[in-house]
Every structure is written in C-alpha cells, then in structure tokens.
Amino acid sequence: MTDRETIRIYDSRAEDYARVTASDTPDATLRAFIEALPEKAHVLDLGCGPGLSARHMAAAGHHVDAWDASAAMMELASAHPGVSARQADFDALDAAAAYDGIWANFSLLHAPREAMPRHLAAIHRALKPGGLFHVGVKTGTGSKRDDLGRLYTYYTEAELTGLLRAAGFTPGPFRHGEDLGLDNVMAPWITVTAHA
C-alpha cells in the first residue's frame, strides 16, 4: 500500500533529492555492505530513489535491480550504468531466494507500520539463505507527515530488532546518526545490516 502523497512529492522533487544525497563515493555503511557481498552478487535496491547506492553497487561489479514507486526517481536511477531500474512498490516483491543482498536505505520508513511485517517477510523470502539485508529508518515513535507532506513511520532500535527477528533475520550491529533531510530538518536515524 503506497502513500500517494509521498510519491507525488518525490516525483516533483526528484532532482532536488538527488542533489541532497549526491556523493562520489559510497559511505562507510554502503562500502561495508558492498564488501560483504559475494563477487558479482545479485542485489536489489528497494526504494532506490535517484539510484545513488545502486550506482555504487553496480560500479563494484554487482548486478543491481533498482526499484522505486516514483516514476521520476526511477528515471534518474535508470541513467546509471549497470543499473536495471523498474517502477515498483514494496508489494511487488514476490521473488524467492533470488538476491544475495537487498538494500532498503530510508525507504521502508514511508510504509505504514502495519505493513512492515509483511514487507520484511517478503524481503526474507527474496533473499538467498544467508543473504544480507540493510535497512535504515528514522528513530522515534508513531508516524506523521513532514513539512513537505511525506509520510514517515518512526521506529526504536528495540522495535526494529523485534520486527527483524520475527521475520527470520539475525540483526547485526546498529549504527546511529543524524542528518539534514530534504525538508531541511535534522533527524536522528538508525541503520542495520541483518542476515537472512
């Protein structure tokens, strides 16, 4: 179930978002994820945005599918060499044991809380045994729209750990940080890479 207002905002602000997130090199978390994958891995960037992470993974020699519900984001992602981009939402994931890794960096936080167990179960199914899953969310409780109108669902580390374990994952160490978003607000976040 995709929040249409969130997608409309990303469609209208895709170029702005690409500028805010631009980077010539992968950050430490993405670099560690890339290095932990087997050679020429099959990876899904789920909720890929403008495809920056997908670009870095493809440049490292991996086979990358990049999905986003926003048509404008998918267009930007498809411009990166080696990236196979598709306009699709989280519910489109119905693969079984297809991916060595799935990267969902600050994308699943736009899904309603009640949908998260279903999405995590589908991601677990889509990964090969022992596959890697990275997820990033903003920390907090409840859900709300930001000043731009995007829907956010917030999670505590304990809640995210419980959800991952319930879906069959073994969560790795969590990273905590704070960054300035497209809405020009500093927000705390957590990321984790888990094993299927």
Phi then psi dihedrals of residue 180, to 5 deg: -85, 125
Q: Give residue 1's pLDDT.
A: 62
pLDDT band at 192 (very low <50, low <70, confident <90, very high): very high
Q: Give residue 168's pLDDT.
A: 98
Q: What is the mean pLDDT of residues 144-163?
A: 96
Q: What is the mean pLDDT of residues 139-152?
A: 95
pTM reported for the whole predicted model: 0.95
pLDDT digits 0-9 by tens, 6-17: 999 999 999 988
Q: What is the mean pLDDT of residues 90-114?
A: 97
What domain count does the chain have? 1
Question: Minimal CA–CA distance to 42: which of 83, 94, 74, 90?
Answer: 83
pLDDT band at 3 (very low <50, low <70, confident <90, very high): confident
Q: Give residue 183's pLDDT.
A: 84
Question: Minimal CA–CA distance to 196: which of 164, 154, 153, 163?
Answer: 164
Structural domain of residue 111, as residue ranges?
4-195
CA distances from 99 to 1, 36, 141, 151 (A): 23, 14, 31, 28
Q: What is the mean pLDDT of residues 35-61?
A: 97
Q: What is the mean pLDDT of residues 143-160?
A: 95
Domain CATH code at residue 163? 3.40.50.150
3-state secondary structure the chain: CCCHHHHHHHHHCHHHHHHHHCCCCCCHHHHHHHHHCCCCCEEEEECCCCCHHHHHHHHCCCEEEEEECCHHHHHHHHCCCCEEEEECCHHHCCCCCCEEEEEEECCHHHCCHHHHHHHHHHHHHHEEEEEEEEEEEEECCCEEECCCCCEEECECHHHHHHHHHHCCCEEEEEEEEEEECCCCCEEEEEEEEEEC
Residue type, 86: R
174 or 3: which leads in pLDDT = 174
Q: Give residue 41's pLDDT.
A: 98
